[in-house]
Structure 1
């Protein structure tokens, strides 16, 4: 009898083992979404910068010496031709007197050589001297003439060196920095003053590479004083550094200010605003973009089932924080912006909130 019951019991046991409970349903994954918006204009970005002169020059003496006088201070406005500092000129004055004396001596020798040549010429004509003596007189006259020319050149150099003892502003401007004081010995060409020439001011910004590449050609930039936004000026890009800063990776961009008010003084902190893109499209936060099999894509949430689908898109413009799509998403659709890397097609999600 046991032999007849064993197969039945075994079949019952096997049937009981096959009726396992279904696996629990996966809970919806929390994500943050944004509603796709139709953008009619471009993105406006703001960057902080400073006002700097368009032309900044280092001024120094052309000869070495000891600074005797400093006639201007940092922040002073100077005019073209104004004396900024003087060197002790005692050595140069002595050299000038020596050069003048040398010229007088050379001129006296020239007069003597000229008279001797004239006498030898007369004697040679009457036969009372030789041709050799006459040629010697001509040579002495030529040598004396050269000596006078050399003495005149040395006098000009000495006069120039006396003039070089005065450091003169070559153009009107403002003294930004002074780097030498009276009594200090300076070398030739050593910077004594840094002068900001008048004639133009720039607003200088450190611009990220992505923003530099996205900027339109010849954009107009609005520049406002940071602590007083009512003080404004228009500007145009005047110069873009070809090399990025090795630390920040940003490029220096100089914006020439057009008729800047006095409030936009040198060194002031300003805010520049520029429209980096134009035209319409569907705009989304840049964090929504992922890499799909065929290129760029976004996760779109079905409004009824709350399931996500990976939608290929075509990106028209990349901004610093937002992107503009040419096609792939319709206005009003919900697009995942946070948690995009952990999703799979058809996965049900739970919305944490809607970021505009």
Structure 2
């Protein structure tokens, strides 16, 4: 092929083409620039999504490769051991006099002329509490005293007649029959003296009974008569006295708890509205149980204190003996239709159900009388959310 140099027109065209090409590469247009930016942003988003997907995949696969023990929930457990537990029974009741003595009118009755004591005062045995008018009875006593004098005069005369008759019998002026009649007259006169004296003594005793007296020393709880009041014979409770001032709490105790109590058991009594606590002991357990409430009465003897007011309400804490057993918090003991139970964690860290029998309930927890030795690891809380055989990670709580 023969080479021909370009003509002048062809040279000019080549130069124009080169000039156009150089302009397109070095100075792009605005549309191309925008398109490049959009493409770069899209590529960045795609790269970010791919990287996130790989990170999520790695996170999801990590638990599958981890051990099963790392997934087990942490459960707090305790090992209670065994100890001596002092049982207590809480009961409520009413304060009353241990021996309440109603004092009434034992005489004929009448108008009250004086009342010598007030409620809350201490009295001694035989002290006059009140007096009833006895003006009529005093006149009757005086009349009876005069009758005694008459009877004595008759008896003296009969004795003199008999003495004279005995002197005349020896002379034959008086027969033996007359002596016997005079002797009988003398004896009858003496008997009338005795009768008159007995009647006077009766009147005096009746008069004395118009004074209302304290049958024993103690504290006056009630005063139910006033001066000027007319009272009848046999009124039952003009006064009420607490013998010796001794008090008691008549505590109402459930039938089951009653079996744990006995005479001599100590108790602490706290009246309602008072921060004071009084120490006493059971002196009697009533032999009957109320059919409706299924409760019995334990009578707790208390020494007199001003804060113990008969009729007031009080709470008693009674010591019901001691026992040696594991003691669990209430949260650890569950119950259903089959009875009480706990969850224990065995050596393989799996949950097992264990039936138990409960005993005393104290402020520190519930005594377990059967089913545990105290060395087990027992689930403290959240037992209701566990199932037997479930694997857990036990954390022992220190006592």
- 1:111 partnered with 2:156: yes
Q: Distance in 1 between matches of 2:121 and 2:388?
A: 71
Aligned pairs for 1:283-294 within 5 A: 283=327, 288=334
Quote the residue 1:298 is aligned against. 340
Superposed CA offset, 1:23-46 (max 9, x none): xxxxxxxxxxx9895553122233
Quote the residue 1:155 is aligned against. 200
Give unmatched runs, 5+ long, in structure 2. 1-76, 391-399
Q: Distance in 1 between matches of 2:254 and 2:266?
A: 18
User: Could you say what secondary structure the match of 1:276 adopts?
Assistant: strand
Q: Distance in 2 between matches of 1:287 and 1:241?
A: 34
Q: Distance in 2 between matches of 1:338 and 1:195?
A: 58
Superposed CA offset, 1:284-321 (max 9, x none): 669856786xxxx5344465776x7473x466x45599
Q: Relative to structure 1, is the Cα distance of residues 346 and 338 closer, same or farther in structure 2, using a 3 angstrom cutoff? A: closer
Greater helix content: 2
Q: Relative to structure 1, is the Cα distance of residues 83 and 69 closer, same or farther in structure 2, using a 3 angstrom cutoff? A: same
2:112–2:231 CA contact under 8 A, matched in 1: no
| Larger deviation, residues 109-118 vs 58-67 | 58-67
TM-superposed deviation, 1:267:
4.7
Q: Relative to structure 1, is the Cα distance of residues 139 and 226 closer, same or farther in structure 2, using a 3 angstrom cutoff? A: same
- 1:84 partnered with 2:138: no
Q: Distance in 2 between matches of 1:337 and 1:98?
A: 95
Q: Distance in 2 between matches of 1:48 and 1:252?
A: 10
Aligned pairs for 1:167-178 within 5 A: 167-178=212-223
TM-superposed deviation, 1:191:
2.3
Q: Which has the higher contact order (CA 8 A, sep 6+)?
A: 1
| Larger deviation, residues 212-221 vs 96-105 | 212-221
Q: Distance in 1 between matches of 2:188 and 2:361?
A: 79
Quote the residue 1:220 is aligned against. 266
Question: Which of 55, 67, 70 is the aligned partner of 2:111?
Answer: 67
TM-superposed deviation, 1:209:
1.9
Q: Distance in 1 between matches of 2:111 and 2:78?
A: 70
Q: Distance in 1 between matches of 2:207 and 2:382?
A: 73
Q: Distance in 1 between matches of 2:187 and 2:130?
A: 44
User: Could you say what secondary structure the match of 1:278 adopts?
Assistant: strand
- 1:210 partnered with 2:256: yes
Quote the residue 2:283 is aligned against. 238
Quote the residue 2:88 is aligned against. 44
Aligned pairs for 1:1-356 within 5 A: 37-38=80-81, 40-71=84-115, 72-181=117-226, 182-188=228-234, 190-215=236-261, 218-229=264-275, 231-257=276-302, 261-283=305-327, 288=334, 298-301=340-343, 309=353, 311=355, 313=356, 317=359, 324-329=367-372, 331=374, 332-334=377-379
1:298–1:335 CA contact under 8 A, matched in 2: no
2:87–2:360 CA contact under 8 A, matched in 1: no
Q: Distance in 1 between matches of 2:287 and 2:140?
A: 49
The count of aligned residue pairs is 302
User: Normalising to structure 2: TM-score of the pair?
Assistant: 0.64
1:300–1:335 CA contact under 8 A, matched in 2: no
TM-superposed deviation, 1:218:
2.7
Structure with greater Cα Rg: 2
TM-superposed deviation, 1:143:
1.1
TM-superposed deviation, 1:115:
0.8
Q: Relative to structure 1, is the Cα distance of residues 270 and 87 closer, same or farther in structure 2, using a 3 angstrom cutoff? A: same
Greater strand content: 1
TM-superposed deviation, 1:347:
10
TM-superposed deviation, 1:211:
1.7
2:94–2:250 CA contact under 8 A, matched in 1: yes
Q: Distance in 2 between matches of 1:217 and 1:129?
A: 82
RMSD after superposition: 3.7
Q: Distance in 2 between matches of 1:126 and 1:35?
A: 124
